[in-house]
Each structure stands twice: as structure tokens, then as C-alpha cells.
Structure 1
Amino acid sequence: MRAGGASGRDSRGLWLALFGVLLAALGVVAALGPLAGARGPLFGAWMVGQAAWLIAFARAERAPIGAKTVFAGALLLRLVALASDARLSDDVYRYVWEGRLLADGRSPWAASPDSSTFAAERAHDPELFERINHREVSAAYPPLYLAANAGVASASELLPSAWFESSLARSVFAFRLAATCADLLVVAALLALCRQRGRPSAAALAWAWSPLVALEFAGAAHMDALALALWLGGLAWLGARANALGGWASVGLAGSLKFLPFVSAAFGARASGSLRPLASAATIAAATLAIFASVDEGARGVFGGLAEYSFRWETPNLAHRFVEGLFARFTAFDEGWSDPRRLARGVLLAAWLGWGAWLLARRVEPVSAAGRMVGAFLVLTPTLHPWYAVWILPFLALEPRRSWAVLLALLPLAYWPLAEWQAEGAWREPWWLWPALALPFFALRVREARGERP
């Protein structure tokens, strides 16, 4: 069963109250500071905001608000999140490190931050080095992603140094500001898609008014929002002009930042009967390889960090743990070809590709197919980071699903073990976390699937 669809309009007072709760809850999160020092109160306030968001999502069809109100609300929430310091992630320090290296013509792929290669860089900014996570692992991001980081790192020097306590604080704020701008571009692109596809502007609040989204991008500076903005922008462009070269170029740029948007090229080629989508994506991806020419080491080590990440990283996930556990009954964790981690990833990747092939065979419309491929990825991935999970939200605005909305409303709970991780370096997932996240999701998803049968 899909959310929404009821007739009639809610009162403006109800929506003012809902947004007031969202804004107040996010304000409390911002005022409390780091999660590690106020886990209980911070989660309490955050989950109140998530509940208000879930109610707003469920009632979006009745909302007496337009695109300007949705965007203005999104902007206010991002301004509050920019003032927050929940410290949900330390990835931004790696963005700064790798961005500075690439801007200086050094390769972040060729060696890890703790290698002797970068002794001078460590000495120049020891505070930055100490804050980088997994200092023994080299860069895992594709070249265009790091080129964007290099651009932000360089642009940070334009900010007045007197406003910040250190050059590192200035760089971190620049990344948060860049992520916020990209996040707001997602809102704009999503509003355009809603208009094209006959959805109310209020549906875009699935992304625009999500406290989780605001804290992941304006708060934690994850640069995924740039890839998503280009992806949705490209899809909106293609919605206005079918098979437009610029639209496919935008999708290709998005895929060159984060690989997932490349799926749209396959579905676009199938829908249009043209190779233009695939050719455009491949050309853009190939062109981004020229970035390697800007560093002395070229492409050396480009797959080292990515291989390490894809093999070892695991966070609270929905399905992977059970597939890996099944293989662990029969094979050892020896890092060989039969390592349960490798086997589980291989099987689940095959399942994801099989799902894509099935959607292609059924000629599922490209935007709908993109949402379904994102959803399948989130179910099967070993690393369900919250900033990965929010990729489903724009597609929920276009095709609402209560199952995903409930999961995203509960997903801040995935950060519960973070306080121990930051204090002790040990990630201890409480017994209740997987049931709290997964059981409502799967129960609702099964119910929806039954209701969607022809």
C-alpha cells in the first residue's frame, strides 16, 4: 500500500506545528553538541524530529504548501544543522586531507595517510592527521569525487581566516557549506521531478524536511549530495527533453562521483532504444580519468583503498549479515577467495545485478527503476551508512512507500554505538538494533508487495 492519496487539505496550522516541531527538535540536537556527551537527550530530540517528519511524509498529499514553502523550510533546517556539532562522522577530515593532496598535485591513491610518503604533510597539519579515520588506508573515492574535494579545499582559503580558530576549522566549514549547497540543489531538482511527474510539491519534503538529511550533509559534510544532485538534475533534464545529451552528461557526472547513478544509463538505453545514454556515461567516466594526469604518481594504487573498503567495511545492515553468517559455517575468515565476506559480497552483488536484469526485461521506466535499484542496494549492502540510506528519499517522494519511510525515520538509531566507538575504538552493536530497524521495514515491505500484485 502506498502512502498518501487521501482527499481534502490539512489546515495550515497543523503544518506550521509540524514544521515547528522539526525545527525545534533539530535546534535541540544542535544545542546539545557532540553525541558522545549527550547520547540520551540527543537521540530523544532527534527521534521527536524524525516522528514529525514521518507524519509530514504520510500527509504530504494533503499539505497546503507549495514549492517555495518546501524550499524555505529546507533552507531553515540546513541553517540550524550548520550550527550543530553532533560529530556523527569524521569522514570530513579525510575529505580535507585528500582534497588538499590532490590540489597540490599529490596522489591520495598512491599511499595511505600514515605512510612515509606524506611525512611532510603530517608535520604541516598534525591535528588534521590525528583526526583522519583509518589512516592506514589510501583513498577509495573515484577521481572526480576527489577533484570536487580538491576544489572545496582550495576554495576554503577564500573564507576569512579571522572567523575560524584554525585553518582546519575553516576547511571543515567549507566542506559543510559545499555539502549544504549540493543538498539544496537536490531539493530543487526533486521539486522539478515532482512537477514533471504529477506529484505535489509537498512530496519533496521526503528529502527537504528530513532531519537526518540535514545532519548528514549540512552537519557532517558528506559530499554524496553532489552526486545525487547531478543524478536527479539529469533525470529532470531528461524529463523535460527526452534523451537530451546534457541530461545524460549530468547522469554520467553523477556516476563518476558515486557509481550507483550509472544504472540510469542502462535503463535509459533500454527505454529509448538508443546507445546515447551508455555512450554519454562511458565518455564522461573516461574523461574523468584525465584527473590522474594532474598527479605525479598517476593512477598508481587507485584500487587499493577501494578494495580494502569493499572487502572489510561493515556497519548495521539488513541482509548481508545473514548471508555472511551462512558462509561462515563452512569457510574460514582467511582473506582468500572463500572468505565468507568475499562470498557474501559476491552472491549479493549477483542478486543485485539479477534484480536489475529483471527490471530491464520488464522495461521498467528509468526513474522508477533508479529508485528500485537504490532500494535493492540498501537492502543488500554490507555498509548501510545513514548517509547512504537517504539516497532512497527522493524516489520516495515520487513513489511513496511506508516501509522505507519508517526505516528512514528509525535509522538515526544506527548511530547508537557511535559513542563507544569514538571513546574506545570498539563498535558494539546492541542486540535490539537490527530488530528495531529491520523488522518493521520487512513487515511493511512484504505487505506492500502483496498489495502491488496485479
Structure 2
Amino acid sequence: MQMLARSAELRLAVPSLVGITALATAFLAFTLYRGERHAFAWSPTLIIAVALLLRLMFLFAPAQLSDDIYRYLWDGGNILRGVNPYAAAPAAITPPAQLKTLHAAINHPEYVTIYPPAAQLLFAAGAALGGTVTALKAFLVLIDLMLCGLLIMLLQRLGLPTWRAVLYAWNPLPVLEIAGSGHVDGAGMALFVAAFLLLVANGKGRTGAALAGAAFAGAALVKLFPLVLGPALFLLASRRRLHFLGGLCCGALALSVPFLPDLARIADSLGAYARNWEFAGFAFSTLRGATGSGGLARLALVAVLLFCIAAVTSRVARAPDTPDEGSPVTQQRRVIEACYAITMAFLLTTPTLQPWYALMLATLLPFAAGPAGIVLCWAVQLTYRVQIPYFILGQWTESAWVTAAVFLAPVTAGALGRVLSGNRQVNAKHAVSSSDGR
């Protein structure tokens, strides 16, 4: 990882990035395999200390694989100047002298910002710390380390070993996407994990459920993607679902009011994203080719995702609240495993799959890790292959083979994992039967 951090131009080092992160991912897979049989005695302090060192390698490097952070700083700088970031698109604004450099670096300046209100508050905080890329990345890395701590606390609450936190804390994906590129997604997942932890620890009380709802509102208004996990959290709220919904509505309202009435303009940007954006979406490109219609393909994938959410949550809802005899699996663990399954379905059906979108899945790996999830968190980085011709020639040219590999790699890994797991169970039963026969 240090070699990548020292790279003068990371966009030209994509083959090295893919290879080095593959080795790191193989280490995580081995850690999971070995840890399930002989638990590691790694302390929370060690886990977070190593996570910090990994992130420090990239903190002071420029954001090379994505330019989203310049929009973050532009929005945050405008808030500090008293300008609503939803009032107008950057292209329609003559920037002040101190923001001219940022203005020139913004992608898609013709659109009003697509980032929700909670994200805007984070951008303003980062801008207040100095308004530099490094300052904002340092702020987001601090939140990411807090997320690592929250994961450890939740693992302990769910009766799972704390060493599993390394599946996120030492994962190359958050290191590259948060410390390297400064993406805000980790902050949203920190609020999601906080909401889940509040429901597990204090969900039976009115205050705990309401605070969990407010935290989830924050998560969804940092990045909208966690909304797909809302039905699962609603199940976890159990008898305090009205209080959870109350906290959710109050939190969303409190975060949104400062940006009204211009906040309504985000709908135009979100609509353009939903209708037109596409990247590395194998299911989408396949359906579009089969139907000849991008719109029909998008609607079909939305239907598939909604069906997956309904199927997964209904299965959890029907499960008993107490562990089955001989099984340590509680309803709380079933819910977070459902979140993992829903996130996997979301990533495999979305028409646009940027590498940092998989941070949602990486956050849930400590609770429901399997071959498919670990492989997908690495495979999304194959899409950075597009950066090579874009940097050299200015041409954004996707590879159909890469798009297919990003989809098929986790699907294949998951299928092989099920086959091998089934064989082990059959062999174990056969061994027991042989022993009883003797």
C-alpha cells in the first residue's frame, strides 16, 4: 500500500493498484478463514492503530482517482459564505477569488449539487478546517476511524469476535476511497452503524429508538444509498417503530430546513442521475442490450431490487425473536445479515457502480462476510482501468470485459463458497454417521 501512496500518478498505476489490493484482499480472506477456526487475539487498540497507519499513507497525497472532493469543498465554501449550495449550479456562478481553483476543478458544473443536507454540513466543517483537500480528508478519516470503533462496539454487542473488524478497518477499499480520494460515504455508514447500535443497546426505550431514527436520517442524508436498508432497521426497532419513525422524520426535517426552499432543486440533479448515469453496471447493460431500452432496463432493475428487499426483510420478520435451539443467531444478527444481502443486491443491480459505492458493503463485512462480498469489494477497483485512457487521451472508454468481471467475480465466488460449504457439511454428517455406526 505504501508503494501506491508514493505513486506520482496513481491513474497510471492502476495495474499495480489492482495487484496490490488483490494481495491485501487475499490476506483478509485468509484472516476470515483462519479466524473462524482459531480466533485472533487482536485488541481494539491494535486494530484501530493499524487502520490509522494505513490511512495516513494516503492522507497527504492528492485525490487522483476521483475529483468529487472539489465539489465537496465548493459546496462547503459556499455555505461558509452564506450561499445555499442548492441555489444555483456552479456553472451559473462567478466564483470569488478564493474559490476559483475549486470552481475550475468541479465535475458536471452544469448541475446543482447532488449531495443531501447532512453531507453539506460535513463539507462545511471540512471547509472550516482550512478549505484544503488534506484538511477535508483528515476530517473524513477521523470519522472513518470512529466508524471502526463503532464496528468493534457493535460486534461485541452482537456476540461476535472483535477481530472481524479488520475486514473493514484493514480493507484497502476504505483506505483508497476515504483517505485517498476523500469520499463522504464512510461518514454516512458511520451514522448507519450508530443507528443500528442504538437499536441494539437501547432500542426498547423510546429515546433510544428515536435517536436511532435520527441517526439513520443523518446516514440517508449524507448519501441516499442507505435508504435501501431502512426496512431492515424498521424491523429491528420492533415495538418502538413509531418512535424510530418519529426520530427519522424529525432528524430529516432538522437537517433539511436550513437549505429550504432551494433544496427542492436537488430533484433535477437526482433525476438526471437516475435517468442518464451509468458505469460498470453489468446487469443494466445486459438488459438494455436485450430490450433495446435503457429506461425499461432501469425499471426492471428497480423492480428486482425491491423484490430482493421485500424477500429478505420478510424472511427476517418471520424468523423467531429468540435463537433457535443450538444456534447462536439472534434476530439482531439476522437483521444485519439482511442489510448485507440487500446491499449486495443493490450493488449488483445499480446501473452506476463507482468503486466507493461498495463502502456500504465493506462496512457490513465484519458481520456477514463471505467470499462474494470480499471479492466484490476488490473487484470494483478493476473499474479504475478507465482512468488510464482518460488521463492520457482524455477519452472515457469503459471495457465490457471489466464490467462483466466486476459482476461475475463475486457471483462466482459466492457460488463456489456455497458448494464448498455444502460439501463440508455433507462430509461432516458422513463422519458423524460413520462414528455412530461404529
TM-score (norm 1): 0.81
Instruction: Report what 2:64 is aligned to.
Output: 87
Are the equivalent residues in 2 in contact too, given 1:187–1:204 (CA < 8 A)? yes
Instruction: Report what 2:193 is aligned to.
Output: 232
Instruction: Report what 2:5 is aligned to.
Output: 30
Residue 148 (structure 1) aligned with residue 129 (structure 2): no
Instruction: Report what 1:70 is aligned to.
Output: 47
Deviations 1:23-48 (A, max 9, x none): xxx11001113223444444444433
- After superposition, the Cα gap between the structure-2 partners of 1:103 and 1:327, relative to the gap in structure 1 and judged at 3 Å, is farther
Query: How big is the shift at 1:425?
Result: 3.5
- After superposition, the Cα gap between the structure-2 partners of 1:431 and 1:378, relative to the gap in structure 1 and judged at 3 Å, is closer
Query: How many residue pairs are counted as aligned between the two chains?
Result: 398
Distance 2:8 2:41 in 1: 34
Distance 2:254 2:226 in 1: 17
CA RMSD of aligned residues (A): 2.4
- Match for residue 143 of structure 2 among 156, 161, 182: 182
SS at match of 1:267: helix
Letter in 2 for 1:251: F
Distance 1:392 1:326 in 2: 29
Query: How big is the shift at 1:230?
Result: 0.8
Identity %: 28
**Correspondences of 1:116-127 after superposition (within 5 Å):** 118-121=93-96, 124-127=98-101
Deviations 1:266-317 (A, max 9, x none): 3343341432222221221122221214xxx633522122212222221112
Distance 1:266 1:44 in 2: 37
Distance 2:182 2:383 in 1: 18
- Match for residue 103 of structure 1 among 49, 55, 80: 80
- Match for residue 340 of structure 2 among 371, 394, 412: 371
Distance 1:437 1:265 in 2: 26
Distance 2:144 2:65 in 1: 17
Are the equivalent residues in 2 in contact too, given 1:256–1:284 (CA < 8 A)? no
Are the equivalent residues in 1 in contact too, given 2:213–2:246 (CA < 8 A)? no
Mind listing any 5+ residue stretches in structure 2 that lack a counterpart?
Answer: 318-333, 426-438
Query: How big is the shift at 1:449?
Result: 5.8
Instruction: Report what 1:159 is aligned to.
Output: none
Higher helix share: 2
Instruction: Report what 1:314 is aligned to.
Output: 278
Distance 2:335 2:257 in 1: 29
Residue 434 (structure 1) aligned with residue 403 (structure 2): yes
Instruction: Report what 1:161 is aligned to.
Output: none
Q: Which range is displaced more, 134-143 or 366-375?
A: 366-375
Letter in 1 for 2:170: W
Instruction: Report what 1:276 is aligned to.
Output: 243
Distance 2:235 2:410 in 1: 31
Residue 255 (structure 1) aligned with residue 220 (structure 2): yes
Distance 1:342 1:449 in 2: 34
Query: How big is the shift at 1:368?
Result: 2.3
Distance 2:160 2:8 in 1: 37
Are the equivalent residues in 2 in contact too, given 1:54–1:409 (CA < 8 A)? no
Distance 1:302 1:435 in 2: 32
Deviations 1:378-430 (A, max 9, x none): 11111111111121123221112111112223332211111222343322223
**Correspondences of 1:285-296 after superposition (within 5 Å):** 285-293=252-260
- Match for residue 353 of structure 1 among 297, 302, 306: 306
Runs ≥4 in structure 1, deviation > 6 angstroms? Answer: none
SS at match of 2:265: coil
Are the equivalent residues in 1 in contact too, given 2:284–2:351 (CA < 8 A)? yes
Distance 1:60 1:217 in 2: 27
Are the equivalent residues in 1 in contact too, given 2:185–2:359 (CA < 8 A)? no
Are the equivalent residues in 2 in contact too, given 1:182–1:229 (CA < 8 A)? yes
Letter in 2 for 1:237: L
Query: How big is the shift at 1:203?
Result: 0.7
Instruction: Report what 1:138 is aligned to.
Output: 112
